[in-house]
Homo-oligomer: A and B are copies of this chain.
């Protein structure tokens, strides 16, 4: 396709050179008129800034543009000029908003669309536009104590019934560990809980403090399967209520204490510190504080494990996900994560990157979500369904394309010699 040919857009350059003032014509009925030069220019700019991925953009006029060298694998339909203009100004944020409201439609596989977008962006690494966007979208929500509660409430208190529709039976809302890719999601979540318990070599009657416990599955697993005594913190009211019910039903309420409070208020000394899927919500400006909490809580021979979404280098979270799905969230690079343990009396024993496990976990979630989408629509509305679909699909793409990582960092006191000789014990069956 010759990108210089104005005929592609149905108008000659002069004819279409009308400027932004004509946005009053943005709501023209689709197909009513031919594409102006400016619209074609915007579409080409957008596709160019994404590294010209194999995406075809079809405008409200019915005309289609694709700047890729290969055939398009997915079609995007844009319904108005104002929508196109907002995409140009802030594509990362506005694509999600417009997709959610239906101003953008995707014909084809949404995951595939996100994947080719990430692949294109990877080729554009460090381009001016990317940096500009990054800066533009860099402002995160605060995670001071009060703000954390608001941020966490936004996501986790949507309603337990909603999460029950598409998570595993125990409601584990973090990356699973697929010892083999063909095991079920239920098996993989149990395997993940065993993997982290084995990493910290949890023994009967040992005490654990868990920072951010979700619906309590891991705390309950540590108590029922390893005989541990657990204090588990979470600031989500709905999750804690659910976790307490489960502890009661399992008869382990004397071994697992679910505390509706910020992990920063934890006190006492423990054999292990465990945090799975919480660091993303802490924010790097509070890592020092987290380190103090761990130091205060961890016994001399204590072990700690932090499991968190991460990046290969410092980068803000996708702006739409941060604003609409996870306010205040920031997945750190491994170097940033190590701020939690370094410059202190801690020694990193093991780091494992499980990003492909998160892509597979998310594929299971998306499939279950799609199966339940009519129920979700009844509970909320179509816009909610579309937003969550995009979030899950985009997350699959970001893990499978290496934009996001999943790090498990195991550490202990620097002077503790009661450490495993090799890691073979993790793989003994």
Residues of A within 8 A of B (CB): 119, 122, 125, 177-181, 312-314, 333-335, 338-339, 342-353, 355-356, 400-402, 405, 407, 413-417, 419, 421-424, 426-427
- Tell me, in angstroms, the Cα distance from A119 to B422 when the chains sit together: 24
Q: How far is the CB of A240 from chain B (nearest CB, A)?
A: 33
Chain B residue at minimal CB-CB distance from A341: B312
Query: Please, how many angstroms separate the alpha-carbon atoms of A335 and B341 in the complex?
Result: 10
Taking the closest CB of chain B, its distance from the CB of A429, in whole angstroms, is 9
- Give the nearest-CB partner of A313 in chain B: B343
| Number of copies of chain A assembled together | 2
Q: How far does the alpha carbon of A338 sit from the alpha carbon of B343 in the complex, in Å?
A: 15
Given A181-B421, A312-B346, A427-B427, CB of A119 within 8 Å of CB of B334: no
Asked if B333 and A335 make an inter-chain contact with CB atoms under 8 angstroms apart, the answer reads no
Could you give 26 example pairs across A and B, Cβ below 8 Å? A177-B422, A178-B421, A179-B422, A179-B424, A312-B342, A312-B344, A312-B345, A312-B346, A313-B343, A313-B344, A334-B342, A335-B335, A335-B339, A335-B342, A347-B353, A347-B405, A348-B407, A351-B351, A401-B415, A402-B414, A402-B415, A402-B416, A402-B417, A423-B427, A426-B427, A427-B427
Q: Is the CB of B181 within 8 A of A423?
A: no
Q: How far in angstroms is the closest Cβ of chain B from A341?
A: 8
Contact of A312 among B180, B339, B347, B426 (CB under 8 A): B347
Instruction: Report if A421-B343 is in contact (Cβ < 8 Å); known contacts: A334-B338, A348-B351, A415-B401.
Output: no
